[in-house]
């Protein structure tokens, strides 16, 4: 029975009911960063879609087909009707697959969220691409842009097959992804953001590239509330570097201050670039994150 | 001079172990490894200024600090610090503990003075420092060294536990001389005396060291028998019992103490009398005892209420068999025989009824040297110069006069020698002084112008009185005092023979007894212990120690030879009087104002602190295991 149930799942990343609910959700970017190719997202500039946007005074040279004659009849002045231009939006996910994400289900949570954001993009006829960064110095794993419902299988297969491990810092990973990426839209950063590098530069690059940042910090419970005490030697799983800490239990208060300060700093960096930031625990239920938290934060509807 | 006194300063080099301790701590510190996703946060935490504050640095190395403190405590314990008592330290300290009878006096809590002394001495033993040696000396009528100078606390405690009260009076000279002898082998600067203060105030001794006189708290009130004697009166004995009590403390009005006094003869009660004695007063009770034969008397005092000392509530007295005094006096000394005939208790030899001599005599009055071989306890030689005085004095035919005489001596009591005409003159040799006679054991009772006239010598239970001039060649027989002189000699002989007056024997040494020569006798003490004592060539059995109250039985094999009851009978011990100042020959020693304080060793405290630090370090290291989620 269990085998049958497993085979019935569309993907191992998300349950079918979650998939069903996700298909009805739509990303809510603050900025309308779209591509010129036609899509289902209204562009900021006027367009030729059927959805009315505004009126403006008629000027010489305008196509008279867009003059609203009803208004002209009542006001005796010509006004031109403006329609929204629906363009395609790019949804790119950059997944941190380094060794630091291999703790306590962080990477698993990142893959699920990447699948969820990608599915929302696909179901809204956006161009969806995914970068997975693990080993520094190598090109990130890349799933080329795809669109449409038919690309779901491709997206899930890509995310299911990727393996974690490596030492790719998230700041360098963003730069490496941007070297290949073309298109405006939304970039979903899925990482723990625990890096020694500078995050301001990659965020600026994303902003310049016309990508609205949706940054999700995924931390393990042992990072949110570490239970350490006494004299210990901490080993960085990526670099192998060590730090000796004495009376670690007495430093937990300062650790929490620094962790919260990092969250605050990341949030400020994102907001200053019209982006969004969210910090979750790898133990947080996926349903709650997708259907409660994202909606309350206005990331999707 | 160090800022804090240590006994073993040489162990200070152990502080050098701090260097390898710190080095090894940092080199060999075993930290549990913990894999974490990133050091980014922890690096920023460690770079925080607060983490590097001095207090946080201290907390980071608290294990090292605990180990340093532990090592410091252990090194300090090894150096053996101590809290100085303020007094000069003595490496060799003799402890003189009074064990006389009064030390058995108990206070209201039932604790004896000896128990109090043991408590104080035990403190000294407990706080004994490794470079200090104690020597315990028991002081009673004699001194007994209980231990050598030792720092072995077990030996000292055992010796202290075995210490018991001797039922004898105090005498400090022997103990002080023993301490003086010990001072020849080890440097002794101070000796400590623990006593209840019931010791002789004047001590014939020159102190070569300082004496710390520690007086124990006083005991409660006491009442006891201080004298027991009997005087023969015709066919009966009058037994005199003196009961005394302690003085009341100044300003304290104590009610009189009632007690019952019972007289027992051979275990059977003869008389009983109740007395009421005010504090500090004494009372004499007379019990008439109608007996002609020997009897063993026992007097028991039963105080009503509190009584500090129990050992003085019993006394023994042995009544001799009543008989006439056997006196030998040659017929040539008619004047003496005439004087003797008037005494009805005297059996004179040789008598005119055919009895020429007896086996032994109580008194021999003679002017013949050959009679010195007679067996008698008292001799009165007339006109004889002893052989051992031949070089000191010789007789000349010249008139002599009495210059002075001892009017209180028993022989010359009520005898007036003024204007006595003597035809023989004893002349001392040139350069001979009175000291020379005394060195030979003679006491000058009457002194002439040129030499001694009357002498006395006591030796081995025998009293010899010498009248160097012949009384027939003097006016003495015509003087009123002559029969008194003879009567005094008879009284001396009767006392010597125990026929007229006897006293209860005090503890200490048994009185000499004339027994078989060169025979080993068994002496059974009141506690049942038996010791052997040989008699001398002349049959004298002497020097038998009798430290306990009760009856001593002298046996020859299975035959009982004598039974002697001894009791305390000491006014000073019963009164529990205390002496605040000991007067020595050249200086006096007062009671120390405070009890002797000993240096308090601290090594135990440091060792305990070290142990606690060890536990704290262990707890701190193990208090909570490191927990972290590992990668899967």
Q: Which residues of B touch A251 (CB under 8 A)?
A: 45-46, 51
A202 lies in the same domain as A243: yes
A109 lies in the same domain as A75: no
The pair of three-digit structure tokens given for residue B452, joined into one six-digit string: 């001694």
Q: Report CB contact under 8 Å: B32, A233.
A: yes
Please state, in angstroms and rounded to a whole number, the distance separating the CA atoms of residues A188 and A185: 10
Q: Which residues of A touch B631 (CB under 8 A)?
A: 99, 102-103, 237
B329 lies in the same domain as B318: no
Q: Give the pLDDT mean for B366-376.
A: 89
Q: Report CB contact under 8 Å: A258, B50.
A: no
The span from the first CA to the last CA of chain B, in angstroms, equals: 66
Q: Give the pLDDT mean for B359-363.
A: 87
A168 lies in the same domain as A70: no
Specify whether the CB–CB gap between A100 and A62 falls below 8 A. Answer: no
Q: Give the pLDDT mean for B8-32.
A: 80
Q: Report CB contact under 8 Å: A247, B59.
A: yes
Which among A221, A236, A254 has CB closest to B629?
A221
Q: Give the pLDDT mean for B8-35.
A: 80
Give the DSSP per-residue string, chain A.
Answer: -HHHHHHH-S-SSS-HHHHHHHTT--B--SS----SSEEEEEEEEEEEEEEEEEEEE--TTS-GGGB-HHHHHHHSS-EEEEEEEEE--EEEEEEE-SGGGGSTTHHHHHHHHHHHHHHHHHHTT-EEEEEEE-STTSPPEEEEEE-SGGGHHHHHHHHHH--------HHHHHHHHHHH----EEEEEEE----SS-SHHHHHHHHHTTEEEEEEEEE-HHHHS----SSEEEEETTT--EEEESSGGGGHHHHHHHHHHHHHHHHHHHHHTT-EEEEEETTS-HHHIIIIIHHHHTSB-
Q: Is residue B265 part of a domain?
A: yes
Q: Which residues of A touch B59 (CB under 8 A)?
A: 246-247, 250
Specify whether the CB–CB gap between B279 and B243 falls below 8 A. Answer: no
- Count of residues for chain A? 301
Q: Report CB contact under 8 Å: A243, B46.
A: yes
B357 lies in the same domain as B369: yes
A240 lies in the same domain as A102: yes
What's the pLDDT tens digit per position in B255-290? 888 899 999 988 888 899 999 888 888 889 999 888
What is the pLDDT, as a whole number, of residue A247?
Answer: 74
Give the chain A residue whose CA is nearest to the CA of B617.
A230
Q: Which residues of B touch A222 (CB under 8 A)?
A: 36, 628-629
B586 lies in the same domain as B609: no
Interface check for A230 against chain B (CB to CB < 8 A): the answer is yes
Mutual orientation of helices B62-79 and B603-622 as an angle, nearest 10°? 160
B35 lies in the same domain as B16: yes
Interface check for A247 against chain B (CB to CB < 8 A): the answer is yes
B388 lies in the same domain as B491: yes
What's the pLDDT tens digit per position in B311-328? 899 999 888 877 888 999
Q: Is residue B373 part of a domain?
A: yes
A49 lies in the same domain as A183: no
Please state, in angstroms and rounded to a whole number, the distance separating the CA atoms of residues B486 and B382: 12
Give the chain A residue whose CA is nearest to the CA of B39.
A236
What is the pLDDT, as a whole number, of residue A156?
Answer: 93
A70 lies in the same domain as A100: no
Q: Is residue A19 part of a domain?
A: no
Element (H, E) at B389: none
Q: How many CB atoms lie within 10 A of CB B539?
A: 17
Q: Is residue B87 part of a domain?
A: no
Q: Which residues of A touch B65 (CB under 8 A)?
A: none
Give the chain B residue whose CA is nearest to the CA of A166.
B37
Q: Which residues of B touch A283 (CB under 8 A)?
A: none
What is the pLDDT, as a whole number, of residue A3?
Answer: 42
Q: Is residue A61 part of a domain?
A: yes
Q: Report CB contact under 8 Å: A104, B629.
A: yes
What is the pLDDT, as a whole number, of residue A38?
Answer: 53
Please state, in angstroms and rounded to a whole number, the distance separating the CA atoms of residues A256 and A260: 6
Residue in B618, B632, B626 with CA at minimum distance from that of residue B31: B626
What's the pLDDT tens digit per position in B148-198? 999 888 999 999 999 999 888 888 888 999 999 988 888 888 888 999 888
Res. B128 pLDDT band, cuts 50 70 90: confident
What is the pLDDT, as a whole number, of residue A4?
Answer: 46
Q: Is residue B123 part of a domain?
A: yes
Q: Is residue B627 part of a domain?
A: no
Torsion (CA) B275, B280, B286, B287 in degrees, nearest 10:
50
B377 lies in the same domain as B455: yes
Within 78-107 of A, beta carbons closer than 8 Å to B belong to 99-104, 106
Distance from CA of B614 to the nearest CA of A (A): 17
Residue in B377, B339, B364 with CA at minimum distance from that of residue B513: B377
CATH code of residue A202: 3.40.50.410
Interface check for B52 against chain A (CB to CB < 8 A): the answer is no
Cα torsion B373, B374, B377, B381: sign: negative
What is the pLDDT, as a whole number, of residue A35?
Answer: 61
Residue in B2, B24, B36, B105 with CA at minimum distance from that of residue B68: B24
Q: Which residues of B touch A231 (CB under 8 A)?
A: 29, 31, 63
Q: Is residue A170 part of a domain?
A: yes
Which among B37, B48, B63 has CB closest to A237?
B37
Number of domains in chain B: 5
Task: Measure Cα distances from B616 to B62, B619, B621 in Å.
Answer: 11, 5, 8
Select from B498, B523, B555 the last residue of a domain.
B498
Q: Report CB contact under 8 Å: A192, B37.
A: yes
Mean pLDDT over the full length of chain B: 85
Distance from CA of B31 to the nearest CA of A (A): 5
Q: Report CB contact under 8 Å: A250, B59.
A: yes
Q: Is residue A163 part of a domain?
A: yes
Q: Give the pLDDT mean for B52-78.
A: 79
Tracing tokens 């000058």 back to the chain, one arrives at: B444
Specify whether the CB–CB gap between B487 and B415 falls below 8 A. Answer: no
What is the pLDDT, as a whole number, of residue B627?
Answer: 45
Interface check for A35 against chain B (CB to CB < 8 A): the answer is no
A209 lies in the same domain as A283: yes
Number of domains in chain A: 2
Residue in B609, B594, B596 with CA at minimum distance from that of residue B81: B609
Residue ranges making up the domain that contains A66: 39-87
Q: Is residue B252 part of a domain?
A: yes
Q: Are strands B540-541 and B376-382 parallel, antiparallel or unpaired?
A: unpaired
B260 lies in the same domain as B396: no
Q: Report CB contact under 8 Å: B61, A246.
A: yes
Res. B379 pLDDT band, cuts 50 70 90: very high
Give the chain B residue whose CA is nearest to the CA of A226.
B628
Q: Report CB contact under 8 Å: B32, A232.
A: yes
Q: How many CB atoms lie within 10 A of CB B618?
A: 11
Helix (H) and strand (E) counts in chain B: 12, 37
Task: Measure Cα distances from B284 to A151, A235, A277, B507, B567 in Å.
Answer: 136, 102, 117, 21, 17
Q: What are phi and psi of B373, to 5 degrees?
A: -85, -5
Distance from CA of A258 to the nearest CA of B (A): 7
Interface residue of B25, B33, B35, B41 to substitute, partner A, most A CBs within 10 Å: B41
Task: Give every CB contact of residue A27 below 8 A, 6+ residues apart in sequence.
Answer: A89, A91, A117, A120, A121, A124, A126, A186, A214, A299, A300
Q: Give the pLDDT mean for B531-557.
A: 88
Does the pLDDT of residue B131 top 80, yes or no? no
Torsion (CA) A38, A42, A45, A47 in degrees, nearest 10:
60
CA angle B42, B48, B54 (to 5 degrees): 115
What is the pLDDT, as a whole number, of residue A94?
Answer: 93
Q: Is residue A33 part of a domain?
A: no
Residue ranges making up the domain that contains B453: 325-498
The span from the first CA to the last CA of chain A, in angstroms, equals: 35
Specify whether the CB–CB gap between A202 and A176 falls below 8 A. Answer: no
A146 lies in the same domain as A54: no
B562 lies in the same domain as B607: no
Q: Is residue A28 part of a domain?
A: no
The alpha-carbon radius of gyration of chain B (Å, integer) is 38
A152 lies in the same domain as A132: yes
B333 lies in the same domain as B201: no
Select from A87, A115, A148 the last residue of a domain.
A87
Specify whether the CB–CB gap between B84 and B7 falls below 8 A. Answer: no
A126 lies in the same domain as A216: yes
Does the pLDDT of residue B5 top 90, yes or no? no
**CB pairs < 8 Å spanning A and B:** 121
Q: Give the pLDDT mean for B557-586.
A: 86
Distance from CA of A196 to the nearest CA of B (A): 6
Give the chain B residue whose CA is nearest to the CA of A191.
B37
Give the chain A residue whose CA is nearest to the CA of B624.
A229
Q: Which residues of B touch A99 (CB under 8 A)?
A: 37, 631
Res. B630 pLDDT band, cuts 50 70 90: very low
A83 lies in the same domain as A162: no
Q: Is residue A194 part of a domain?
A: yes
B468 lies in the same domain as B394: yes
> Which residues of chain A have a pLDDT value below 50?
1-6
Element (H, E) at B594: none
What's the complex ipTM?
0.81
Does the pLDDT of residue B445 top 90, yes or no? yes
B169 lies in the same domain as B100: yes
Give the chain A residue whose CA is nearest to the CA of B38.
A236
Tracing tokens 């030899």 back to the chain, one arrives at: B349
What's the pLDDT tens digit per position in B224-261? 999 999 888 767 888 999 999 888 777 777 788 889 99
Q: What are phi and psi of A134, to 5 degrees?
A: -130, -60
A179 lies in the same domain as A75: no
Q: Is residue B19 part of a domain?
A: yes
What's the pLDDT tens digit per position in B327-343? 999 988 999 999 998 88
Select from A87, A119, A148 the last residue of a domain.
A87
Specify whether the CB–CB gap between B231 and B501 falls below 8 A. Answer: yes
- Please give the DSSP secondary-structure letter assigned to residue B474: B
Instruction: Note the helical H segments in B294-417.
Output: 334-341
Task: Measure Cα distances from A246 to A206, B64, B105, B428 in Å.
Answer: 40, 11, 67, 105
B112 lies in the same domain as B59: no
Please state, in angstroms and rounded to a whole number, the distance separating the CA atoms of residues A200 and A198: 6
Q: Is residue A254 part of a domain?
A: yes
Q: Is residue B276 part of a domain?
A: yes
Specify whether the CB–CB gap between B196 and B220 falls below 8 A. Answer: no
- Count of residues for chain B? 632
Distance from CA of B69 to the nearest CA of A (A): 18
């Amino acid at each position: 029975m269990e085998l049958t149930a497993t085979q019935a799942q569309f993907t191992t990343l998300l349950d079918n009911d979650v998939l069903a609910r996700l298909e009805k959700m739509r990303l809510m970017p603050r900025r309308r960063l779209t591509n010129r190719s036609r899509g289902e997202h209204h562009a900021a500039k006027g367009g030729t879609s059927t959805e009315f946007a505004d009126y403006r005074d008629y000027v010489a040279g305008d196509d008279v087909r867009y003059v609203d004659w009803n208004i002209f009849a009542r006001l005796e002045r010509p006004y031109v009707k403006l329609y929204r231009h629906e363009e395609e939006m790019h949804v790119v996910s950059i997944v941190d697959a380094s060794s630091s994400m291999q703790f306590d289900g962080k990477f698993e949570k990142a893959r699920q969220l990447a699948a969820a954001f990608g599915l929302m993009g696909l179901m809204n006829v956006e161009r969806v691409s995914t970068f997975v960064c693990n080993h520094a110095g190598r090109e990130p794993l890349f799933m080329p842009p795809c669109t449409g419902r038919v690309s779901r299988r491709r997206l899930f297969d890509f995310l299911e097959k990727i393996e974690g491990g490596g030492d790719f810092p998230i700041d360098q990973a963003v730069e490496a992804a941007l070297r290949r990426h073309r298109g405006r839209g939304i970039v979903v950063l899925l990482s723990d953001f625990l890096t020694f590098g500078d995050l301001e530069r990659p965020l600026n690059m994303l902003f310049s590239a016309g990508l609205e940042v949706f940054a999700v910090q995924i931390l393990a419970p042992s990072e949110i509330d570490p239970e350490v005490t006494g004299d210990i030697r901490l080993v960085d799983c990526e670099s192998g570097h060590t730090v000796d800490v004495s009376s670690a239990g007495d430093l937990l208060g300062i650790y929490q201050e620094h962790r919260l300060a990092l969250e605050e700093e990341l949030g400020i960096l994102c907001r200053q670039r019209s982006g969004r930031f969210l910090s979750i625990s790898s133990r947080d239920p996926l349903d709650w994150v997708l259907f409660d938290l994202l909606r309350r934060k206005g990331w999707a509807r | 001079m160090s800022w804090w006194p240590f006994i073993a300063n040489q162990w200070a080099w152990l502080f050098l172990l701090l260097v390898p301790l710190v080095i090894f701590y940092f080199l060999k510190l075993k930290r549990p490894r913990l894999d974490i996703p990133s050091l980014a946060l922890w690096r920023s935490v460690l770079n925080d200024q607060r983490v590097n504050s001095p207090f946080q640095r201290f907390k980071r190395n608290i294990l090292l600090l605990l180990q340093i403190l532990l090592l410091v405590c252990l090194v300090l314990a090894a150096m053996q610090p101590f809290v100085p008592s303020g007094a000069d330290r003595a490496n060799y300290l003799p402890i003189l503990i009074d064990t006389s009878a009064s030390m058995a006096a108990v206070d209201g809590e039932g604790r004896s003075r000896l128990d109090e002394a043991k408590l104080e001495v035990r403190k000294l033993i407990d706080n004994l420092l490794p470079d200090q040696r104690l020597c315990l000396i028991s002081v009673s009528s004699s001194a007994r060294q209980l231990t050598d100078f030792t720092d072995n606390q077990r030996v000292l405690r055992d010796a202290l536990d075995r210490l018991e009260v001797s039922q004898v009076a105090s005498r400090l000279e022997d103990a002080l001389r023993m301490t003086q002898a010990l001072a020849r082998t080890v440097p002794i600067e101070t000796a400590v005396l623990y006593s209840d203060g019931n010791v002789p105030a004047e001590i014939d001794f020159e102190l070569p060291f300082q004496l710390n006189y520690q007086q124990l708290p006083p005991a409660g009130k006491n009442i006891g028998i201080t004298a027991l004697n009997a005087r023969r009166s015709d066919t009966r004995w009058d037994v005199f019992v003196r009961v005394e009590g302690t003085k009341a403390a100044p300003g304290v009005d104590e009610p009189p103490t009632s007690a019952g006094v019972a007289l027992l003869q051979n275990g059977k009660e003869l008389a009983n009398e109740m007395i009421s004695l005010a504090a500090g007063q004494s009372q004499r009770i007379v019990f008439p005892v109608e007996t002609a034969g020997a009897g063993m008397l026992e007097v028991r005092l039963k105080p009503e209420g509190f009584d500090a000392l129990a050992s003085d509530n019993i006394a023994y007295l042995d009544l001799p068999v009543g008989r006439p005094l056997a006196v030998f006096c040659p017929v040539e000394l008619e004047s003496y025989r005439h004087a003797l005939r008037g005494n009805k208790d005297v059996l004179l030899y040789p008598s005119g009824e055919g009895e020429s001599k007896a086996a032994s005599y109580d008194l021999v009055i003679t002017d013949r040297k050959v009679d010195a071989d007679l067996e008698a306890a008292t001799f009165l030689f007339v006109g004889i110069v002893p052989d051992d005085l031949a070089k000191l004095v010789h007789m000349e035919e010249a008139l002599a006069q009495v210059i002075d005489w001892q009017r209180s001596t028993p022989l010359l009591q009520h005898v007036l020698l003024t204007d006595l005409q003597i035809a023989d003159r004893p002349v001392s040799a040139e350069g001979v002084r009175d000291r020379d006679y005394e060195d030979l054991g003679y006491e000058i009772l009457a002194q002439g112008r040129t030499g001694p006239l009357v002498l006395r010598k006591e030796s081995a239970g025998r009293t010899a009185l010498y009248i160097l001039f012949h009384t027939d060649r003097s006016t003495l027989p015509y003087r009123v005092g002559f029969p008194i002189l003879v009567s005094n000699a008879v009284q001396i002989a009767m006392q010597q023979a125990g026929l007229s007056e006897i006293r209860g024997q005090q503890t200490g040494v048994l009185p000499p007894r004339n027994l078989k020569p060169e025979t080993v006798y068994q002496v059974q003490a009141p506690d049942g212990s038996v010791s052997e004592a040989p008699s001398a060539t002349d049959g004298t059995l002497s020097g038998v120690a009798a430290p306990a109250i009760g009856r001593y039985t002298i046996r020859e094999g299975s035959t009982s030879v004598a039974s002697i009851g001894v009791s305390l009978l000491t006014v000073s011990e019963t009164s529990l009087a205390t002496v605040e100042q000991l007067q020595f020959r050249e200086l006096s020693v007062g009671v120390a104002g405070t009890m002797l304080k000993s240096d308090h060793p601290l090594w135990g405290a440091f060792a305990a602190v070290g142990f606690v630090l060890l536990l704290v370090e262990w707890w701190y290291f193990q208090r909570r295991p490191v927990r972290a989620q590992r990668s899967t």
